[in-house]
Amino acid sequence: MGRHQAVAKTYRRTRPVDWGRSVHRRRYMRRELTSVFLIAYALVLLSGLWRLSQGEAAFDAWRAAMSHPLALVGHAVIFVAALYQTISWFQVMPRTLPDSQIRPASITRAGWAAAAVASVLVLALFIVGGAK
Amino acid sequence: MTAQASPRTIRIEAMRFNPETDKEPSWKGYDVPFRDDMSVLQGLQYIKDHLDGSLTFRWSCRMAICGSCGMMVNDTPQLACHAFLRDYMPGPVRIEALDNFPVIRDLVIDQTSFLNKLEAVKPWLIPRAQRTPADGPNRQTPEQMQKYHAYAQCINCLLCYAACPQIGLKPDFAGPAALALMHRYNADSRDQGWPARAEMANAEDGVWGCTYVGECSEVCPKAVDPAHAINQNKANSALDYFGLGKKLAPSEGGQ
């Protein structure tokens, strides 16, 4: 690529990328890792939808499986990962938006607030739905 | 007037590579006397002047303006003139050539790949119509200048390339500085060059090659924030994909 020619004799270092080299890289890897848990939870929900399509008995069996202690522990782990993903993603969100006069910290706090409001709404729907 | 503290000594371990005799780099240590106001660059200059004249490194301005003395200092990309030996006590300080670049000799890297990437983003004003000196000054308002001013501070020191893990994985990725400078011109009210730069921006090795680790912005000595430049252009690239490229042109005029 390009008209500039590389120097003929150089030493090319071939070493794997060190993802733990800096605090920024480690923070990035933690953020990306938590997204794997979000995918896992999406698959759990999809499996529930799939079991629902197979009839009431299949769905009840899926719900029973979800009540197993191991499933509950899994949900707790996914919840913590989702919380970390939410917090860390809104921390980096300002750099994904166009330049503006709004302070990055304000954008982050607005994101957290939106996530909190959405969570409360979902929880309220769950409580109202469960009461009926 | 306070008495100046007597010089302390710190060990500097420098990466050495002679292309005429070596198959791979090796490390050589030097004990360097220093005072609190001495930079890492001054430490290297002491080695060259007093201990080993064969040590090779680039430098020029000594004040974080020229971007020549970028190197890895204890595994972190730094301008050697912008890092102080006192901060690395008790040592040793390990200095090697910038990561992710071929090494020509000792601490000197081959910048060719970056020069080609920089040229590929067309880092110059592309106006809608060709202007001549007879047209007079091409004015813009302070607000219009503010849109690109931070990105115009890049000194091509290449610390961001050494910091970027994606460059290590995908050497053809255009990289932080080139894409930040692309945005610097795209955001300029005197420039209408997005169509000419779109192919480069939209490519797999363009803005989409970035996974937003963000380390480029952390190591930048001029606060250019390449991560911001790249990631806001992912939205621009998506707009371009949906045929909304006209929205990307900055507003013209504004005397």
Q: Is the pLDDT of residue A61 over 80?
A: yes
Class of domain B8-109: alpha beta
Mean pLDDT of chain A: 92
Mutate to test the interface with A, among B110, B151, B207 (most CBs of A within 10 A): B110
pLDDT tens-place string over residues A101-114: 899 999 999 999 99
**DSSP alpha helix (H) spans, chain A:** 23-52, 56-66, 69-92, 104-131
What are the b/e assignments for B46-61, b being 16+ CB within 10 Å?
bbbeeeeeebbbbbee
Residues of chain A found within 8 Å of residue B168, distances taken between Cβ atoms: 17
Query: In one letter, which amino acid is B69?
Result: C
Residues of chain B found within 8 Å of residue A32, distances taken between Cβ atoms: 211
pLDDT tens-place string over residues B172-192: 999 999 999 999 999 999 999
Contact call for residues B158 and B193 (beta carbons, < 8 A): no
Residues of chain A found within 8 Å of residue B172, distances taken between Cβ atoms: 1
Confidence of residue B249 (pLDDT cuts 50, 70, 90): low
Confidence of residue B81 (pLDDT cuts 50, 70, 90): very high
pTM score, two decimals?
Answer: 0.90
Tell me, what's the pLDDT at B254?
41
Nearest to A25 among B99, B113, B215 (CB): B215
- Return the domain boundaries, chain B: 8-109, 112-248
Residues of chain B found within 8 Å of residue A24, distances taken between Cβ atoms: 213-215, 218
Rounded to the nearest angstrom, the minimum Cα separation between A12 and chain B is: 5
Mutate to test the interface with B, among A5, A9, A11 (most CBs of B within 10 A): A11
pLDDT tens-place string over residues B24-66: 999 999 999 999 999 999 999 999 999 999 999 999 999 999 9
- Average pLDDT estimate for A92-98: 91
Tell me, what's the pLDDT at B1?
45
Decide which of 3.30.2320.20, 1.20.210.10, 1.10.472.10, 1.10.1060.10 is the CATH code for B112-248: 1.10.1060.10
